[in-house]
Amino acid sequence: MRSVRAVLPGEPRVADPMELGAEQRPKAVGRMLSEISNERPGVLGEAGLGALQARQAISEAQGRGRGKNELAIAFTELVGFSDWALEAGDEAAVDLLRDVSVAVEPPDKSHDGTVVKRLGDGMMAVFKGVDGAIAAIEEGRDRLQDVDADGFTPRIRAGVHCGKPRKVDRDYFGVDVNITARVADRAGPGELLLSGAALDSATGDGLTVSDRRPLDAKGVPEEFPVYAVALRG
C-alpha cells in the first residue's frame, strides 16, 4: 500500500513532475514507474484501482460515499507508456509526461472540466456534463498527434461515467469513481468508452456508437454495458 500511495494525492512528498526542477524530476518519475505492474502496467491496473477502492471504503465508512452534484467523471491513461519509459529512461519519461499534460489539460479546462489528479501515466478529471468530457478527450487525443518522443507517439485510452462522487478537499471519492476507473481499464488503445449512464446523459450531437460490450469487472454489476464512442467530423 505504501508504494501505491506514492502516486496518490495528499502526500507532501508527491509533486507534479512538470513543476519540479531538472535534478528532482528523475526521482519523481522513478516513483511513478515503481507502480508498474508486471501483469498490467499503468495507473488503471490492479494497484491503482486497489488504492481507489481502499480510499472509497474509508470514505463510505465515514458517511462520505456520495455527493450532491451530478458530474461526469473521466479517467485517461497513456497506452504503452510503461514499457516505453523503461527503455527511454527517467528524463525522457518526464519530458513526455510534461508534453502530454500540455496537450490534454487545456481541453479539459475549456470544456468545463477540472483535473482532479495525475496518477503516473494517467489522469482523473471531472466535468459539468458528459458532452464536455467527450469533447475534451477527443480534442486532447487530436492534440497528442503532434507529440512525439523519439518515435513514440502517445495514445490514450479513456473511460467516462456519470454519478455523484463525494468531494473531499480537491479530490473525489465513491463508487462512481471506482466504476469510471473500471470503464477506462476496459478500453482498448485509443478507445473512448462510456458507461450506459454516461451515454444516456450525452446529447448525442455528432456522437457515434461503434460497439457495446459487458464491462465484466470486479465490483460492478454483471449487467453493466459499456459503449465505444467517437465524435463525427
CATH assignment at residue 84: 3.30.70.1230
pLDDT for residue 167? 92
pTM over 0.85, yes/no: no
CB neighbour class for 162 (10 Å; exposed up to 12, middle 13-18, buried from 19): buried
pLDDT for residue 48? 52
Q: Which residues contact 23 (CB under 8 A, 6 or more apart)?
A: none
3-state secondary structure of 205: coil
State pLDDT tens for residues 54-63: 555 555 555 4
Beta bridge partners of 231: 207
Count of CB atoms within 10 A of residue 19's CB?
10
pLDDT for residue 206? 84
Domain count, the chain: 1
* List of the chain residues with pLDDT < 50: 1-41, 43, 46-47, 63
pLDDT for residue 63? 47
State pLDDT tens for residues 19-55: 444 444 444 444 444 443 333 445 455 445 555 555 5
CB 195 within 8 A of CB 224: yes
Which DSSP string do the residues of 138-160 spell out, in sequence order?
Answer: HHHHHHGGG--BTTB--EEEEEE
Grid cell at residue 13: 512528498
Domain carrying residue 171: 2-231
